[in-house]
Homo-oligomer: A and B are copies of this chain.
Amino acid sequence: MTGSMKIEELDTPVLLVDAGALERNIAAMQDIAAATGVAYRPHSKTHKSSIIASMQLDAGAVGVCCAKLGEAEIMAASGIPDILITSQVVGRNKLVRLVQAAQNANIMVVADNEDNISDLSSAAQTAGKPMDVLIEVDVGQGRCGVPPGPEATRLARLIGDTRWLRFRGLQGYQGLIQMTADFDDREAQVRLALEKLMETADHLKRNNIEVDILTGGGSGSSIIDTALGGYTELQPGSYVFMDSRYRSAQWPGGAATPFENSLTILGTVISRPATDRAIVDVGYKAASSDGGPIVPLGYENAEFTFAGDEHGQLFFPGGTCPLALGDKVTFLPSHCDTTVNLYDRYIVTRDGTVEDVWEISARGRVQ
Contacts and interface: CB of A to CB of B under 8 A. Distances in A.
A158 to B, nearest CB: 15
Most B Cβ at <10 Å: residue of A93, A273, A366: A366
Given A268-B90, A286-B366, A367-B13, A273 B143 contact: yes
A11 B90 contact: no
Contact of A308 (B143, B147, B271, B341): B143
A254 B284 CA distance: 31
A306 interface: yes
A189 interface: no
Given A112-B273, A290-B306, A311-B143, A281 B87 contact: yes
A104 B264 CA distance: 34
Contacts of A113: 271-272, 325
Contacts of A90: 268-270, 281, 325-326
Interface string A286-329: 10111000000000000000111111010000000000011000
Interface of A: 9, 11-14, 45, 67-68, 87-88, 90-91, 93-94, 97, 112-113, 115-116, 138, 142-147, 175, 268-273, 279, 281, 284-286, 288-290, 306-311, 313, 325-326, 335, 337-338, 341-344, 364, 366-367
- The list of the 8 closest CB pairs from A to B, nearest first, reads A144-B271, A88-B270, A11-B367, A90-B270, A67-B310, A286-B366, A289-B290, A284-B338
